[in-house]
Amino acid sequence: MNISFDNTDNAFAYKTAKELRMSKFLFKTMGYPFFVPIGTRITPFLMKTGLPIHGLIRKTIFKQFVGGETLEETTEVVNTLGKYGVQVILDYGVEGKEGEENFEKATEEFIRVINYAATQTNIPFISIKVTGLARFGLLQTLDESPRLRSGVHDHEDEMDEWDRVRDRMYRICEVASEKNIGVLIDAEESWIQDPVDRLTMEMMEIFNKEKAIVYNTIQLYRHDRLHFLQLSHRIAKQQNFILGLKLVRGAYMEKERARAVQKGYPSPIQVDKAATDTDYNTAVVYCIDHISEIAVIIASHNEASNLRAFDLMKERGLSPGHQHVHFSQLYGMSDNITFNLAKAGCSVSKYLPFGPIRDVIPYLMRRAQENSSMSGQTGRELMLIKRELKRRTAS
Ligand SMILES: Cc1cc2nc3c(=O)[nH]c(=O)nc-3n(C[C@H](O)[C@H](O)[C@H](O)COP(=O)(O)OP(=O)(O)OC[C@H]3O[C@@H](n4cnc5c(N)ncnc54)[C@H](O)[C@@H]3O)c2cc1C
């Protein structure tokens, strides 16, 4: 079967004309040069002042990118997507809450999300940030110290603290394994990634013996990650487990480059976008070429990368719904990719965050920033929405 990401009829069938007009308004507004820089600065401040802007945010940007304020509220979106063959990755979107009590609460919430996912037909995965379970400073210390990296801890308190993080992750993965729900571990800043990778590999070794339950995330905007992918594959083969991988380009580019300059070390980021694209597409080919040993999630809004993966599956004679290949885009973006892949029989999902408005503000600000440049996929998004509105008026 051939696929076209231009088909707006498939892409937006789940939206009413009113909802589409709101999306058009939002994407247009985010494209005004001064709106996002100012908006992202004042919104967190306005939220703290207690001014009644909740309602406005909820009806606009929140509705576009988030599934609801509670787990139960996501049901409506989950069911709607399900009608079009689109699955869901549930993301409990609370960020930056530190403290042992909050980490325990988050662990319980992740387990609740897994139990909920198991009652639905179209939620095969949940996603987790290790910073939701562990102190950022601890992860940074573990990342920096080669001695700690070898497993030898020189500080009792930190050793106990890390054991508690491992225990939290173990509890989450254990329930996920029992309920047959995949756990995707997000990648964050490079300076905390090493302990995250180690923990994820450890969990894969335990839970991925028969099928992929735990997935690590590879950020191909880092120039060392293709090598890391191959190394992970070698370890998985040696230890006899299925390697679960989510492939992304990476969301923290400016922050990474700025820190490298400030601290005077070579930037971990590729020299340019073309180099990121090349490594991303090479990683896709590598995974599909080893598809019996690697379960891969192509997590991207890049049409060329999605098309490459789709065509490659065809070339290699894999069915579009192969159990080791999954596609995913963020909720509120790139419906033309998601819904057309679903129509072609692929296993594809929307990454759907949920949480109280004040807690998902950092996520919303990242989406606003990502969509503020009218070049690339965002400009295309707006053009496709306009085209669909025109098509509906004409028909
Ligand atoms: C389902 C899903 C899950 C995700 N999970 C994570 C996660 O766990 N961790 C994470 O970090 N991100 C995650 N992301 C975000 C992702 O990393 C990207 O920021 C986003 O998807 C944009 O990349 P793209 O592949 O969609 O396409 P494109 O729009 O083609 O690529 C944009 C990306 O290319 C890279 N890039 C842009 N300019 C340059 C340059 N000059 N030099 C080098 N590289 C450049 C950047 O990574 C930028 O984000 C996720 C995205 C999705 C869809």
Angle between the N-to-C axes of helices 335-343 and 376-394, in degrees from 0 to 180, rounded to the nearest 10: 70
Q: How many CB atoms lie within 10 A of CB 155?
A: 12
More confident residue, 11 or 41: 11
pLDDT at position 389 over 80: yes
Mean per-residue pLDDT, 36-62: 79
Instruction: For ligand 1, atom 25, name the residue with the nearest CA.
Output: 300
Q: How many CB atoms lie within 10 A of CB 235?
A: 14
Q: How confident is the model at residue 378 (pLDDT cuts 50, 70, 90)?
A: confident
**182-185 vs 214-219, strand pairing mode:** parallel
| CA–CA dist 111, 104 (Å, integer) | 11
The tokens describing 306, both together, are 């999605």
Q: What does the pLDDT read at residue 379?
A: 82
Instruction: For ligand 1, atom 21, name the residue with the nearest CA.
Output: 300
Instruction: For ligand 1, atom 17, name the residue with the nearest CA.
Output: 250
Q: How many CB atoms lie within 10 A of CB 36?
A: 19
Q: What does the pLDDT read at residue 324?
A: 98
pLDDT at position 385 over 60: yes
Question: Measured from the CA of 252, which atom of ligand 1 is nearest?
Answer: 11
Judged by average pLDDT, the poorest of 18-32, 206-220, 254-268, 374-388 is: 374-388
The tokens describing 168, both together, are 């939290």
The stretches of the chain forming alpha helices (DSSP H) are: 8-11, 17-31, 35-49, 54-57, 63-65, 75-83, 100-117, 136-144, 146-149, 156-179, 193-207, 225-239, 253-263, 273-289, 303-315, 335-343, 357-370, 376-394
Question: Measured from the CA of 304, which atom of ligand 1 is nearest?
Answer: 30
In sequence order, the β-bridge partners of residue 247 are 218, 298
Q: How confident is the model at residue 152 (pLDDT cuts 50, 70, 90)?
A: low
Mean per-residue pLDDT, 362-367: 86
Spatial contact of 371 and 39, defined as CB atoms under 8 Å apart = no
Q: How many angstroms does the Cα of residue 147 sit away from the middle of ligand 1? A: 32
Q: How many angstroms does the Cα of residue 60 sit away from the middle of ligand 1? A: 24
| CA–CA dist 203, 199 (Å, integer) | 6
How far is CA 37 from each of CA 43, 57, 104, 366, 368, rounded to the nearest angstrom? 10, 17, 35, 11, 9
- Collapsing DSSP states into helix, strand and coil, what is residue 332? coil
Per-residue pLDDT tens for 170-198? 999 999 999 999 999 999 999 999 999 99
Q: How confident is the model at residue 395 (pLDDT cuts 50, 70, 90)?
A: confident
Domains of the chain (ranges; CATH) run 97-299 (3.20.20.220)
Q: How confident is the model at residue 156 (pLDDT cuts 50, 70, 90)?
A: low
Residues whose CB falls within 8 Å of the CB of residue 393, separated by 6 or more in sequence, listed in order: none
Q: How many angstroms does the Cα of residue 300 sit away from the middle of ligand 1? A: 7
pLDDT at position 149 over 60: no
pLDDT at position 372 over 60: yes
Question: Measured from the CA of 248, which atom of ligand 1 is nearest?
Answer: 17
Question: Measured from the CA of 184, which atom of ligand 1 is nearest?
Answer: 8
Residue with tokens 């999630």: 297
Q: What does pLDDT average to over the chain? A: 92
Determine the residue of 90, 245, 247, 248 to mutate for testing ligand 1's pocket, defined as the one with the most ligand atoms within 8 A of the Cβ atom: 248
Print the SS3 string covering 271-326. Answer: CCHHHHHHHHHHHHHHHHHCCCCEEEEEECCCHHHHHHHHHHHHHCCCCCCCCCEE
- Collapsing DSSP states into helix, strand and coil, what is residue 13? coil
Judged by average pLDDT, the poorest of 25-34, 101-110, 114-123, 318-327 is: 25-34
Q: What does the pLDDT read at residue 154?
A: 58
Q: How many angstroms does the Cα of residue 301 sit away from the middle of ligand 1? A: 8
Instruction: For ligand 1, atom 30, name the residue with the nearest CA.
Output: 302
Q: How many angstroms does the Cα of residue 299 sit away from the middle of ligand 1? A: 9
- Which residues have C-beta atoms less than 6 Å from ligand 1? 186-187, 217, 219, 221, 248-253, 269-270, 272-273, 276, 299-302, 328-330, 351, 376-377
| CA–CA dist 128, 184 (Å, integer) | 6
In sequence order, the β-bridge partners of residue 352 are 90
Q: How many angstroms does the Cα of residue 203 sit away from the middle of ligand 1? A: 25
Q: What does the pLDDT read at residue 236?
A: 98
Per-residue pLDDT tens for 294-352? 999 999 999 999 999 999 999 999 999 999 999 999 999 999 999 999 999 999 999 99
Per-residue pLDDT tens for 198-231? 999 999 999 999 999 999 999 999 999 999 999 9
Q: Is the dihedral of CA 301, 302, 307, 312 positive or negative?
A: negative
Q: How many angstroms does the Cα of residue 304 sit away from the middle of ligand 1? A: 14
Query: Ranked by mean pLDDT, which of 32-46, 286-300, 362-376 comes out on top?
Result: 286-300
